[in-house]
Amino acid sequence: MSNQAETLEFQAEARQLLQLVVHSIYSNKDVFLRELISNASDALDKLRLATLVDKDLVADTEDLHVAIEVDREARTLTVRDNGIGMTRDEVIGLIGTIAKSGTAELLRQLRESADARASQDLIGQFGVGFYAAFMVADRVTLLTRKAGETGGTRWESAGEGTYSIETVDEAPQGTTVILHLKPADAEDNLHDYTAEWTIREIVKRYSDFIAWPIRMRVERPGADGEAATSEVQTLNSMKALWARPRDEVDASEYHEFYKHVSHDWADPLEVVHMKGEGAFEYEALLFLPSHAPLDMFSPQGRRGVQLYVKRVFIMDDCEALVPTYLRFVKGVVDAHDLSLNISREILQQDRQIQIVRRRLVRKVLAAVRDLKTNHPERYRTFWTEFGAVVKEGLIDDTDNRDTLLEILSVASTNDPAELTDLAGYVARMKDGQSDIWYATGDSRATIENSPHLEAFRAKGHEVLLLTDPVDEVWVERVGQYDGRPLRSIAKGEVDLDTDEEKKQAEAEREQQRQEFAALLDWLGTTLADSVREVRLSSRLTTSPACVVGDAQDLTPTLEKMYRAMGHEIPATKRILEINPGHPLVAGLRKAQEQGGDPAALTETAELLYGLAVLAEGGELADPARFTRALADRLARTL
């Protein structure tokens, strides 16, 4: 044995997470075995792939399997595989730390979650299955050797903050995990994991579909005084779930397979099982999760489905098979005619893969459409969790844009709680209304308090309330639905009056244009550095002013988004609309006509503009100056 033994501490956040897993989360501790078997299965997959890619790799692949061994006297449970194995650095990186983004956020959510099931869901999103071993073991020993290497690594920990690691000369290929089990405790749902039937039941429930044999030596008492006998039995059926007809698979099998491929603890929301025949044959088993992963918006987040070729695992996260806006979809695609050593780069260009991708996308979107039509509660869950991501498809996926618009749901002024689809909005449009009106903002409350909404509320026109950052982009890109333009209530001129109302109000409007002409010219000159034009508003009923853009202008939010991405975007001057019926505007007109104090009038104009910017949730160029001017003005009124 070498002298490279040392004791190390777990990474701080890994240590905290480990304590939460061990002491405060799970009621069903049986899942530890599922996770260890899943890790072993992954190691076997990776070895098979490595030997296909690297013909010079010296590795034993003659009898790849997972072995489970129990020692009732020593109270140990061992899970062994002869797969890819790990180097010393990989053991430290994969087990001693959590090399993923979002750990701190995960810990915060775990501590705040009072619901044990919700906590399990959070753990599942992060994929820390190895740590579950400490729920049932006082001490865990790991012995591993990387395929193709001579030396091995021994790791051991009691899960209390430190672990020991040393290099060893002798170790079998693959990874062996030895659990020194805690005493059985029925009250704590801690079963006897040395009992054969306990292990059989767990493997059958969670891991029957694993593609590699899971073996265990079992003993049988002899009959009539004969000696006991023992034999090695395979505990799982090893049937590829995706290759079996759907009517031969029950829901629990689908659910456990989903948990295997996704490392999630919750059941999936929907199962998509399909088979492609013809020139290019494949089977696919895909799942819509019931909750979003923590890393869904992280550039380093996992995305894509597992790719198999003729039942041989090829890669874990095959991004070529699903577009980015469906990155939350999990599952397996098993192609019959691809080369076994196909690379990610080749996949991106492969014509057959592109055909499969298009079919998968159509099938997944059809499943969402079915949820929307026939299972509204499940659809509502789906859209709450993944709607912001699915809307990304409206920007680039022109082939499926009509379907995406069909499954789209957004908030609107029609109902304070329920979302609406575009078809529902169109059905409720007023007679003579040609445009679909929408508003964008950081939150529903911000939009509903915006002055832009006043005339629409007064006239009873429904407005879509879009609050996701992606909304700013897709509404511009899509442009219309069912032949009706999508129009922002904060762009262009708005006139919601009917032809009859316009005739009745024309005289009054003409009079207002004449009365306010001088004020509009003066405001345009005074605020020339901030606005391109000042005009009377037809969209305001109670607020004194608002700022709007021309029909083709970028919104302030889009400008910020493009700048954040490194684009040089010139600042766009917007239009100030004033409400001729508001006392502040009427008083300003009178004071300006009577030649009031120029400094005070200029300050009032700047305050009026600043209030309009703030009312729509915008940002002032010089907030300190604005607050000083407002404070001084308020002080003079006392």
Q: Which of 547, 536, 533 is nearest to 510 (CA)?
A: 536
The residue with greater pLDDT, 423 or 237, is 423
> What's the pLDDT score for residue 582?
94
pLDDT in tens, 419-452: 999 999 999 999 888 999 999 988 999 899 999 9
Q: Which of 37, 40, 73 is nearest to 180 (CA)?
A: 73
Could you tell me which residues are annotated as the binding site?
35, 39, 81, 86, 100-102, 125-130, 175, 344
pLDDT in tens, 499-526: 777 787 788 888 888 999 999 999 999 9
Whether residue 341 has pLDDT greater than 60: no
Contact 329, 269 (CB under 8 A): no
Please, which pLDDT band fits residue 484 given cuts at 50, 70 and 90? very high
Whether residue 24 has pLDDT greater than 70: no
What is the CB neighbour count within 10 angstroms for residue 329? 23
Most confident of the ranges 335-344, 368-377, 492-501, 538-547: 368-377
Average of per-residue pLDDT across 295-312: 79
DSSP 464: E
Cα atoms in the Cβ-side hemisphere of radius 13 Å centred on 506: 6
Q: Identify the H or E element spanning 595.
A: none
Contact 367, 353 (CB under 8 A): no
Straight-line distance from the first to the last Cα atom of the chain, in angstroms, rounded to the nearest whole number:
87
Contact 66, 37 (CB under 8 A): yes
Please, which pLDDT band fits residue 15 given cuts at 50, 70 and 90? low
Task: Please provide the size of the chain in residues.
Answer: 638
Among 121-135, 339-353, 473-487, 588-602, the least confident range: 121-135
> What's the pLDDT score for residue 103?
47
Domains for the chain: give ranges and CATH numbers. 14-234 (3.30.565.10), 241-394 (3.30.230.80), 409-488 (3.40.50.11260), 503-637 (1.20.120.790)
Q: Which long-range contacts (CB under 8 A, 24 or more apart) does 213-220 make?
A: 213/65, 213/66, 213/238, 214/37, 214/65, 214/66, 214/67, 214/68, 215/65, 215/66, 215/67, 215/68, 216/67, 216/68, 216/69, 216/70, 217/69
Determine the 3-state secondary structure of 303 from DSSP.
coil
Q: Identify the H or E element spanning 458.
A: helix 454-459
Average of per-residue pLDDT across 16-35: 70
The whole-angstrom separation of Cα 458 and Cα 431 is: 16
What is the CB neighbour count within 10 angstroms for residue 120? 21
The whole-angstrom separation of Cα 63 and Cα 173 is: 12
Average of per-residue pLDDT across 357-366: 95
The pair phi, psi for residue 244, each rounded to 5°, is -90, 145
Angle at 15 between CA 10 and CA 20, to 5 degrees: 155
The whole-angstrom separation of Cα 123 and Cα 317 is: 20
The pair phi, psi for residue 513, each rounded to 5°, is -60, -40
Percent of the chain whose predicted confidence (pLDDT) is above 90: 50
Task: State the average pLDDT for the chain.
Answer: 86
Could you tell me which residues are annotated as the binding site for ATP?
35, 39, 81, 86, 100-102, 125-130, 175, 344
Contact 20, 110 (CB under 8 A): yes
622: tokens are 């010089």
* Residue 23 CB partners (closer than 8 Å, separation 6+): none
Whether residue 114 has pLDDT greater than 50: no
Average of per-residue pLDDT across 302-331: 85
Q: What is the dihedral of CA 168, 172, 175, 177, to 10 degrees?
A: -80
Would you list the DSSP string of 109-152? HHHH---HHHHHHHHHHHT-GGGGGGGTEEEEEEEEE-TT-S-E
* Residue 539 CB partners (closer than 8 Å, separation 6+): 451, 452, 454, 455, 456, 489, 494, 496, 546, 548, 577
Whether residue 351 has pLDDT greater than 70: yes
The whole-angstrom separation of Cα 128 and Cα 119 is: 13
Whether residue 380 has pLDDT greater than 60: yes
